[in-house]
Amino acid sequence: MPEQLTSSTPWERAQTEVDQGGPINDAERMVRLSGGEGSHRVTWALQGQTLLADCDCRGHRFNDGWCAHVASLWWQWVRGRIVVSHLHTGRDYPEPPAWLRFDPPSRPLDDLSPAELDAFLHCDVADAGVRPFARRTDRSPGTIGNLLASAREKLGGDL
């Protein structure tokens, strides 16, 4: 989270008010903070190597988009209270993944298949290790290795 914003009002609200909303679908949640202002529809999902965070409130235009509703979801996520889905790989994340970047380099990750993207994010970006990742996802290291090789080839090998 952006360091300079941790003492701002959206973060205060995120940490002190209860969210009485809930998920709408894999990509959106309704956020209803106990301090008022009603409900807001927030896009909140992983895509490529980054996080889609978009809120329909007016405050979302300020603070680089960290309105109280987006801040609340981040606060809930880092505390393990919500699970966030990756739109392409389908993997659910109970906490922010190590590969997450808010300002990702422009890599053509769209060219990767969901399985290639999944392996690339975990093994190459987050450096989780091929064998541990294979074990965790109940596949052979060879399968993961093939996915990584294919991903690297599509990405041009200049990582």
Residues binding Zn ion (CB under 5 A)? 40, 55, 57, 60, 67, 69
Nearer to Zn ion, 66 or 120 (CB): 66
Nearer to Zn ion, 82 or 125 (CB): 82
Contact yes or no for 26/87 (Cβ under 8 A): yes
Smallest gap, in angstroms, from Cβ of residue 105 to Zn ion? 28
Smallest gap, in angstroms, from Cβ of residue 65 to Zn ion? 9
What tokens appear for 141 in the block? 């290291």
Smallest gap, in angstroms, from Cβ of residue 145 to Zn ion? 43
Nearer to Zn ion, 57 or 100 (CB): 57
> How far apart are the C-alpha atoms of 68 and 74, rounded to whole Å?
10
- Three-state SS sequence of 49-61: CEEEEEECCHHHH
> How far apart are the C-alpha atoms of 73 and 93, rounded to whole Å?
13
Nearer to Zn ion, 23 or 145 (CB): 23
Smallest gap, in angstroms, from Cβ of residue 73 to Zn ion? 9
Q: Give the strand order in the sheet containing 39-47.
A: 22-23, 28-32, 39-47, 50-55
